[in-house]
Chain A
Amino acid sequence: DAGVTQSPTHLIKTRGQQVTLRCSPKSGHDTVSWYQQALGQGPQFIFQYYEEEERQRGNFPDRFSGHQFPNYSSELNVNALLLGDSALYLCATGPGHGEKLFFGSGTQLSVL
């Protein structure tokens, strides 16, 4: 049983570009959350998707958007990249309102 898988593992972009990150949930999980983890800090909640709708959103600008597909996989899109967007982006999945969240290994995004 595969766990939470994210792609790509690393990505380098320049300021102003757009990026798309992908997440496939653990088998049996239908809720997907995205977190941003800056170096030396704890993960910060970006948003959460359930039944293909955004259910909750953290304090992130509209440049951050997402999507959930019928197979429960998800994408995170970031437009007009800033240097400050450089971070590890983590996907966490769980069953419905379930408490236990399982994280992927993340996508390391570097904005130059």
Chain B
Amino acid sequence: GENVEQHPSTLSVQEGDSAVIKCTYSDSASNYFPWYKQELGKGPQLIIDIRSNVGEKKDQRIAVTLNKTAKHFSLHITETQPEDSAVYFCAARPDSWGKLQFGAGTQVVVTP
């Protein structure tokens, strides 16, 4: 089955700097890659997603890139703010239904 690896496990950045989280996947059939943000005591919140026929997608300060050949995708957050502090999860969907395989998560801490 699909296996998703995510790194780093923790990331500390200064406010205003950029943060990059990287994920790799194993199943070449995976065609959908969402990113979720989870704050303490809450469920994961979808922040951006990308389909396998697109190489890059941007939404304000957040962007995601996908390299199908290398089977890796990345989340880029620019101009980080304290409210960006949370755990971020990447995920891959290995078939046509909604089942998602998640990475282990990255704890992002933005210090003022």
B42 close to A105 (CB less than 8 A): yes
Q: How far is the CA of A14 from the CA of B112 in the complex (A)?
A: 43
Q: Does B101 contact A (CB under 8 A)?
A: yes
Q: How far is the CA of A92 from the CA of B89 in the complex (A)?
A: 15
- Cβ-closest chain A residue relative to B93: A99
Q: Does A73 contact B (CB under 8 A)?
A: no
B32 close to A99 (CB less than 8 A): yes
B99 close to A106 (CB less than 8 A): no
B105 close to A41 (CB less than 8 A): yes
- Cβ-closest chain A residue relative to B1: A59
Q: How far is the CA of A106 from the CA of B36 in the complex (A)?
A: 15
A58 close to B99 (CB less than 8 A): yes
Q: Does B63 contact A (CB under 8 A)?
A: no
B89 close to A43 (CB less than 8 A): yes
B41's partner among A55, A56, A105 (CB-CB below 8 A) is A105
A100 proximity list for chain B (CB < 8 A)? 34, 46, 49
B11 to chain A, nearest CB (A): 15
Q: How far is the CA of A97 from the CA of B93 in the complex (A)?
A: 12
Chain A residues engaging chain B, CB cutoff 8 angstroms? 4, 31, 33, 40-45, 48, 50, 55-56, 58, 90, 92, 94, 97-106
Chain B residues engaging chain A, CB cutoff 8 angstroms? 4, 6, 32, 34, 36, 41-46, 49, 51, 89, 91, 93, 95-105
